[in-house]
């Protein structure tokens, strides 16, 4: 894997290079600002770019946009999450076409070094394998009319997403009105620490209020609940949010599967389940169960995903009733609530 490091601190560049080289990756370039990154990509093609955000001159956001417009290369935003503003900027870089975001690694003296280093390498590897499609902007066709007469009114919308998810979630939520009659539960796999940034970023553009789910609260209509770091988000029998510790139960954490599974148990078929862009297959099998129970299930259209793992698996398992782009999903949901508006949870 050939990596380009874009980072203005020499120290951090050396650290990242060291981590990558220890993992047998090839660092084919180190540049210290956005202009140099754009120029580098015009000459040489890395498999993936590790991109910092704050740099003198052209910053990471501008550089990512330029690169994605001219010679698309998978970009991973490498930044620290302590600062909410940074994280939000990182989210914006995702919107500009970066694949995902990862925590800037701690130094070798830090107890978390090993873990951060592994995570960095893993994320870059995943990103390097993503096949980038040059997006052709197109008008979203109105989804075909779905007759809901024979269906139960949904009580909750549940969304699962991973790599490429933030961009899709934003597109989807951005088109929903504040008077949405259902709560939205979202499990988004994201590097630890970035969740507050994600929430902040979504709140900047969504009419709905986005929050991080808390133990025991009852989901309210028009509110969006993000599964917190380090816990599974489920609904209990009384349809309250139950956060379950992740303790090596074999699931990703938080996992879409656990959310969908709890919905199947306690809400049954009165669910709109959505699987968006992401690696792997988290939640696909459980979505099939939901569909069998009568839930409305949607997978993201493969032409708009960053990684077609989870939605692709849902299609393969015939778990998805519909295959739609994020804004089509939003329109479809809006259509649902025009007919079923009052009958929510």
Partner 1 sequence: MASSRRAIQGRLIAAFRTEAGERITDMADCLAQLDQSHDEALLEQLFRDIHSLKGAARAVSLSSIESLCQAWEGLLAAIRKGRLELNDDHIVLGRKAYQCLSQMLNDLDQPEPQSLPALCRSLRLAGDGRKEAAPPVADDAAAVPGDRSAVSAASHHPARIGGDSQLKVKADRFDQLIYIAESLHQSKLEAGQYLQMVEEAQGRFSEWHRMSQEIASARQRLDRGNESGDVQAVSTLVACTQRMETFLARWENHLNKLARQSRRMEHNVAAISDQVRQELQEILMLQCSEIVHGVPAMVHEIANATGKAVNLAISGESLHVDKRVLDSLKSPLHHLLRNAVDHGIETPEARRRAGKQDKGNISISFVHGNGGRFSLVVEDDGRGLDPGEIKTKALALGVIDREISEEMSNAEVAKLAFRSGLSTSSIITDLSGRGLGLAIVRDHIEALGGQVDVDSQPGQGCRFTFHLPTTLATYRALLVQVSGRSLAIPATHVERVLRLAPEALKSVEGRLNVRVGDAVLPAWRLRDVLSLPAPDTTRQSWVRVAVLQWGDVRFGLLVDEVEGDQEIVIKALGPLLARVPNVMAATQLGDGRIVPILHPQDLYQTACGTTSAPVAEQEQAGLREPPSILVAEDSVTSRGLIKTILESVGYRVETASDGREAWERLQEEPYTVLVSDIEMPRMDGFELTARIREHPDLAELPVVLVTALKSREDQEKGRQVGANAYIVKSSFDQGNLLEIVRQFV
Interface ranges with partner 1 (CB under 8 A): 7-12, 14-15, 18, 22, 52, 54-56, 80, 82-83, 85-86, 104-110, 113
d(CA 234, CA 246): 12
Phi, psi of 47 (to 5 degrees): -75, -30
DSSP state letter for 217: P
Nearer to partner 1, 87 or 254 (CB): 87
Kindly tell me the burial class for residue 56, based on how many C-beta atoms sit within 10 Å of its own C-beta (0-12, 13-18, 19 or more): exposed
Helix (H/G/I), strand (E/B), else coil: 200: helix
Is 261 catalytic? The answer is no
Minimum CB distance to partner 1, residue 169 (Å): 24
Minimum CB distance to partner 1, residue 285 (Å): 39
Is 232 catalytic? The answer is no
Nearer to partner 1, 11 or 178 (CB): 11
Nearer to partner 1, 40 or 332 (CB): 40
Nearer to partner 1, 6 or 319 (CB): 6
d(CA 105, CA 120): 7
Minimum CB distance to partner 1, residue 14 (Å): 5
Catalytic residue among 128, 282, 301, 344: 282
Catalytic residue among 86, 189, 197, 255: 189
Neighbour-count burial for 294-318, b at 16+ CB within 10 Å, e otherwise: ebbbbbbbeebbbbbbbbbbbbeee
With CA atoms as reference, report the closest residue to 189 among 116, 248, 254.
254
Tokens 């609260």 -> residue: 217
Minimum CB distance to partner 1, residue 106 (Å): 6
Nearer to partner 1, 107 or 341 (CB): 107
Minimum CB distance to partner 1, residue 54 (Å): 5
Is 162 catalytic? The answer is yes
Phi, psi of 278 (to 5 degrees): 170, 155
Minimum CB distance to partner 1, residue 10 (Å): 5
The H or E element that residue 166 is part of is helix 165-173
How many CA atoms within 13 Å lie on the side-chain side of 118?
5
Neighbour-count burial for 36-47, b at 16+ CB within 10 Å, e otherwise: bbbebbeeeebb
Catalytic residue among 64, 162, 255, 277: 162
Minimum CB distance to partner 1, residue 25 (Å): 15
Catalytic annotation, residues: 162, 189, 282
């Amino acid at each position: 894997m050939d990596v380009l490091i874009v980072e203005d601190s020499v120290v951090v560049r050396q650290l990242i290079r060291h981590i990558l080289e220890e993992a047998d990756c090839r660092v084919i370039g180190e540049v210290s600002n956005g202009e140099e990154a754009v120029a580098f990509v015009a000459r040489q093609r890395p498999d993936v770019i590790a991109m910092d955000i704050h740099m003198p001159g052209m910053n990471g956001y501008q550089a990512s946009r330029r690169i994605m417009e001219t010679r698309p290369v998978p970009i991973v935003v490498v930044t620290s999450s302590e600062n909410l503003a940074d994280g939000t900027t990182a989210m914006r870089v995702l919107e500009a076409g970066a694949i995902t975001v990862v925590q800037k690694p701690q130094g070798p003296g830090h107890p978390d070094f090993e873990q951060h280093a592994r995570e960095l390498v893993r994320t870059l590897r995943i990103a390097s394998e993503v096949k980038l499609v040059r997006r052709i902007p197109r008008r979203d066709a109105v989804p075909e009319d779905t007759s809901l007469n024979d269906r139960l009114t949904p009580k909750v919308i549940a969304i699962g997403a991973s790599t490429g998810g933030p961009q899709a979630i934003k597109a989807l939520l951005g088109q929903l009105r504040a008077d949405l009659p259902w709560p939205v539960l979202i499990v988004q796999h994201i590097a630890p620490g970035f969740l507050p940034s994600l929430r902040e970023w979504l709140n900047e553009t969504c009419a709905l209020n986005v929050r991080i789910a808390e133990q025991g609260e009852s989901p309210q209509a028009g509110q969006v609940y993000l599964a917190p770091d380090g816990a599974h988000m489920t609904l209990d029998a009384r349809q309250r949010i139950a956060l379950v510790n992740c303790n090596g139960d074999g699931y990703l954490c938080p996992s879409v599967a656990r959310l969908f599974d709890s919905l199947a148990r306690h809400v049954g078929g009165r669910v709109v389940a959505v699987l968006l862009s992401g690696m792997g297959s988290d939640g696909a099998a459980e979505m099939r169960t939901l569909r069998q129970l009568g839930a409305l299930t949607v997978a993201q259209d493969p032409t708009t995903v960053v990684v077609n793992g989870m939605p692709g698996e849902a299609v393969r398992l015939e778990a998805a009733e519909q295959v739609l782009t994020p804004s089509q999903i939003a329109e479809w949901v809006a259509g649902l609530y025009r007919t079923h508006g009052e009958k929510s949870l």
